[in-house]
Chains A and B, each alone.
Chain A
């Protein structure tokens, strides 16, 4: 194939982009290696020329990386589909704003985003001009070189690929006949994937960059720790690394919170946290990083915990790499809802993880003995002792989460061992717990418990137990006060929430304790000096967040749950998260606990369909206390072929959210693919009947009551000259005996026939008319035997035994078949018709002129079977001309098709739950991040003032 392709001279390709790009890619990789070497030389020899060389190499590396990113963005903006990367990420109709999202959505783009942030971190370190800059940059660039290798796209001898290049041509990757055409790009334009519409939202603009900045920032304390061991200087890096760790903690934490907010607001996970492996693996590094921040504080203030600080900073970033491995190697595909698909980088990712781990362990073993250890024990009454215990609790939490999340890894390992020893070890394979959320919660509730208590306890202690003997009494007094306060708050919260498990009561008490003790510290101890309040602020935030988790997670109330499910019928199934859908029929109110729901209509905006549902809430006295409209929806692909996702609607209150989700839409709203299938599957029965003849289908007894010459179908817009025939069917439901009316129409406009079918959902019936009805009409009309009469206003005349009295004009006639136009000359005639038997009828036929052409809208009187047309006005004689004839409608044979298995198109299935106190979760989380930010800011201030 390759040879064949070379003979084709392709048109409209931009091969220069790939050539420059590939060159830049190789350059950035080589310069990263050069920079690593130079920076380590510079670090070792403390010599400026090596430092300068490293800096230059890093500069070239930076420029090359930016060039690669720039070229890719340029190709994406200009839709150079010859590149696989562009073909996969963008399409012609992708809005410009989302090109950036498309860039970092895929694996390759996200590696480049990570590299971008690494470079940014690198220059900030460089700017500090500290003696630590050289080795820290060296280690940072080792990470960078590994990331670069993922997107390098070169082949080692033996055809071993290194990375996946973003500049690979589509035609080099695929063998398809289309590539024998020189102008293939034109033909593939339409096939370009584009960005999944699910990802086209603002969350995806902010969430990935924040998370990857967090990853890049987590690498900085790691690099400092490695440098510390390399220099065997275990002291002076600690204060420099601390702000970096605080920054990383704040950014990574914000990234995780943003992910939760995204999942909650825009995705259909039904919550902000589901213990999904992908969520877990970004959360665990954060936990360890926070443990590291605490031991770093201890080490800086007391000299204890240096070893642990090394361990935590090392582990934090290694876990980031482990997370990268899990989410990108395809290993999680069986257990996670949103891992990347496999890209063939498994081995390279393992090498990355293994090298960094090996480097860390080797350096640690080599320098372990030189790390200072204080022989004297920490005092029980010291802050550092309890802080250290807290860090261990965080480590515990991380180990337990990782242990379960890694199940697929164990299976892979067993698989590997099995193939090595030639035995089938599949009986060793394990699956995720049957109740994953309960599994994680069971352990983490105690993590929350201890953390809550420890933050409150240690906040009021001092490093090295300074002044303990004097303060002992007041400390315990305060402790008692806080415990009492926490107990009061626990009781108060219990009035609001129903918490049955004692474990959660314990967690609630500990969280309340954290809130009270830390808030008290903020108020009393720091006396307005906010800079000292960082830790208390974070920890109070943690307490608030934990209470928020208890309220919104544990006390989630599924209000759409069918509470009539009987325990004796369903056993333990009744307690599962099942039976939680409510069925809503259009325009029929539906009760759901103390809410009444009314599905009013649905609207399509762009590629989404929104359902407008009114909700009324009743108080205990039955009075309406609240009324609002929700708009949950479904998201289609751009062709409306199928539904991609659902879009929740959240009604927010200060103390709770009402969260609604469309669980199922009717078949007619499921996209065009389903709609076509549906149309194909409907069976129609062809019938011919006369007026009033009864007939039966599976669901109804029916007859045609009458025929009208207009339509009230909302999709029908009448035009002058339209002929519209609408038989009126009466359908009597066999199951309920209720009678429904159905009025399908057939319209002749010029030479075109439109058939407007009609649906009666209640009896699953759809009726459409056959074109033959028009033939029948014209056949009957030809023999209708019309008589003409001319009348002045007030005059009477007789036709076929009927007396016609022309009572007057209406200059503003109204009729379903007439849409007034300002240029129209339109009138209708009031007629009174007396039959031979004395009955009196009224009719108002219309005559109008539009654009020099006369039109009329006749009136048909079914009982005397008279068709009355108003055909002319003679202004000179002041007369009108009428045509009156018999259409013999009761003799018509009316042909139609009827289906009685039509699925209803007027319902939606909804799920609704209440998240009480979810704002506690968000605000607690934000307070925690604000605390980290504040700590960072006050350290900077402090350092600046000590430097000055």
Chain B
């Protein structure tokens, strides 16, 4: 057994360990129910509940934005995001939230918007 082989072997073992650890960081998409149940941080995919009120009044608090999101189970829940209202928020097709329940509302720490792409938009316009 050569020294280098030992080192490579050790690195492979370490690598597998690290990959297992990295896998532990991977998340899954959850629901409000799970967030409520576990109290842990989760990712939730959903759509904006357009019939409910959306609040962002920077004059009062530039770090308070609230809206309602309907998750994949169809549950609608108020979401508070202590940051500005993201641009083109209303245009989103889908919203991916990261966050957790706190004091009865879902507190988002990150919001990712899926907007219809410019290309698709143009195509629709042309075909109609």
Contacts and interface: CB of A to CB of B under 8 A. Distances in A.
A740 interface: no
B126 A176 contact: yes
Contact of A431 (B4, B28, B62, B63): B28
Contacts of A389: 7
Contacts of B123: 174
Interface string A319-339: 000000000000001100000
B37 interface: no
A341 B109 contact: no
A15 B56 CA distance: 53
Residue from B18, B58, B109, B127 whose CB has the most chain A CB atoms within 10 Å: B58
Nearest to B91: A642
B71 to A, nearest CB: 14
B117 A380 contact: no
Interface stretch (A36-44, A573-581, A854-862): A573-581
Interface in B91-125: 96, 98, 102, 107, 109, 114, 117-120, 122-123, 125
Interface string A565-606: 000001101001111111100000000000000000000000
A111 interface: no
A581 B28 contact: no
B29 A431 contact: yes
Nearest to A643: B87
Given A431-B28, A439-B25, A907 B19 contact: no
A434 B83 contact: no
A750 to B, nearest CB: 41
A904 interface: yes
A578 B27 contact: no
B74 interface: no
18 contacts: A88-B119, A174-B126, A176-B127, A377-B2, A377-B3, A430-B28, A431-B28, A433-B25, A434-B43, A573-B102, A573-B107, A573-B109, A576-B82, A578-B109, A581-B84, A664-B56, A664-B58, A664-B62
Contact of B84 (A577, A664, A907): A664
B26 to A, nearest CB: 4
Interface in B1-20: 2-4, 7-8, 11, 15, 18-19
Given A643-B87, A664-B56, 20 more contacts: A88-B119, A174-B127, A176-B128, A193-B118, A334-B96, A341-B119, A378-B3, A430-B28, A431-B28, A431-B29, A433-B25, A434-B25, A443-B18, A562-B63, A570-B82, A579-B63, A580-B63, A581-B58, A664-B85, A666-B58
B59 to A, nearest CB: 6
Given A579-B82, A909-B84, A388 B4 contact: yes
Nearest to B119: A341
Q: Ordered nearest first, which 4 A-B pairs have the shortest CB separation?
A: A578-B82, A433-B25, A581-B62, A583-B62
B58 A396 contact: no
Interface string B47-67: 000000000101100110000
B26 A431 contact: yes
A434 B120 CA distance: 29
A400 interface: yes
Nearest to A336: B112
Nearest to B125: A191
A380 B18 contact: no
B41 to A, nearest CB: 5
Contacts of A570: 82, 102
Contacts of B58: 581, 583, 664, 666, 907, 909
Given A439-B22, A581-B62, A434 B27 contact: yes
A583 B57 CA distance: 11
Interface of A: 88, 174-176, 191, 193, 196, 333-334, 341, 377-378, 380, 385, 388-389, 392, 396, 399-400, 403-404, 407, 429-435, 439, 443, 562, 570-571, 573, 576-583, 642-643, 663-664, 666, 904, 907, 909
Sorting the interface of chain B by its residue count into under 10, 10 to 19, 20 to 34 or 35 or more gives: 35 or more
Secondary structure of the B contact surface, majority rule: mixed
Contacts of A378: 3-4
A833 to B, nearest CB: 47
A573 B82 contact: yes
A495 B56 CA distance: 41
Contacts of A396: 11, 15, 18
A571 B22 contact: no
B118 A433 contact: no
A582 B62 contact: yes
Contacts of A666: 58
B26 A400 contact: no
A404 B26 contact: yes
B19 A403 contact: yes
Contacts of A196: 118
A443 B17 CA distance: 12
Nearest to B87: A643
Nearest to A410: B26
A434 B59 contact: no
A433 B25 CA distance: 5
A392 B8 contact: yes
B69 to A, nearest CB: 16
B15 to A, nearest CB: 6
B122 A193 contact: yes
Contacts of A579: 63, 82-83
Nearest to B108: A578
A433 B27 contact: yes
A463 B8 CA distance: 21
A407 B107 CA distance: 25
Nearest to B19: A403
A38 to B, nearest CB: 40
Contact of A580 (B22, B25, B83, B117): B83
B84 A663 contact: yes
Residue from B41, B62, B83, B107 whose CB has the most chain A CB atoms within 10 Å: B62
Contact of A400 (B7, B22, B62, B109): B22
Contacts of A434: 25, 27, 41-43, 98
Contacts of B29: 429, 431
B27 A431 contact: yes
A909 B62 contact: yes
A302 B26 CA distance: 42
Given A193-B122, A341-B119, A583 B59 contact: yes
A192 to B, nearest CB: 10
B84 A430 contact: no
Contacts of A909: 58, 62, 84
Given A581-B62, A904-B59, A443 B22 contact: yes
A433 B26 contact: yes
A188 B101 CA distance: 51
Nearest to A578: B82
Given A377-B2, A431-B26, A578-B109, A175 B63 contact: no
A588 B1 CA distance: 75
Contact of A392 (B11, B87, B120): B11
A174 B125 CA distance: 10
Contacts of A663: 62, 83-84
Contact of A403 (B2, B4, B22, B41): B22
Contacts of B126: 174, 176
Contacts of A578: 63, 81-83, 109
